[in-house]
Amino acid sequence: MRKGEILVAAEQLFQHYGYAKTTVADIAREAGIGVGSVYLEFQSKDSISSALCQEQRERILRAMQAVRDSEGNYSERLVQLLEARISGALRPSGAGLHGADLLFAECEATRQVNQRFDGQETELLQGFLEEGNAAGAFAVADPPTTASLVLRIYDTVVSGPAAKRPSQAALREILPTLHALVLGGVLSRRS
């Protein structure tokens, strides 16, 4: 229970003040516990950030998996799969000035979580592209590289420095064009 309270407090503070400006003492105060109690549950602020990032990334991966496992048109499902990933990444970004810190805090622990989940998301998309190839819906010559590149393209639009990121409204306007560009490169000419 205490672990959950610490994570809730840290999430609120990271979203409002940012990872860099939040201290373990701030988290303890927000959770209504002593600093020592925080360290009984987590080794450091980085491990708290890692846990928050992992929660967010697991949610995104589950949403992507649900789309992959659904029935229907492959091209529509590809867009839905990418939308699930984007929506998951935007969710924390829309939750406060520093909401993106839940996924992209500048610490090694968070980078490791992101690297692991990037690999899992790439494998998921690769498998989906291979299934689409087998069904005749896609004509992807190199599914592993294509999956990696497609996710990197979407990452470029959604993540990065806040000053260069489009607003959520602007992003929603450009996504159909981005989806059309990606689909134009993966749809079988027989479709």
36: its two tokens: 């020592």
pLDDT at 176: 85
Residue spans per domain, the chain: 56-186
pLDDT at 153: 87
Q: What is the CATH number of domain 56-186?
A: 1.10.357.10
pLDDT at 78: 95
pTM of the predicted model as reported, rounded to 2 decimal places: 0.83
Q: How many helices (H) and strands (E) does the chain have?
A: 9, 0
Contact call for residues 159 and 153 (beta carbons, < 8 A): no
pLDDT at 97: 66
pLDDT at 103: 78
* Distance, CA of 27 to CA of 33 (rounded, Å): 9
pLDDT at 36: 95
Residue 166 is given by DSSP the state P
* Distance, CA of 189 to CA of 191 (rounded, Å): 6
Averages of pLDDT over each 10 residues, the chain, 191 residues: 92 90 96 96 95 93 96 94 87 66 82 92 97 95 94 78 66 83 71 50
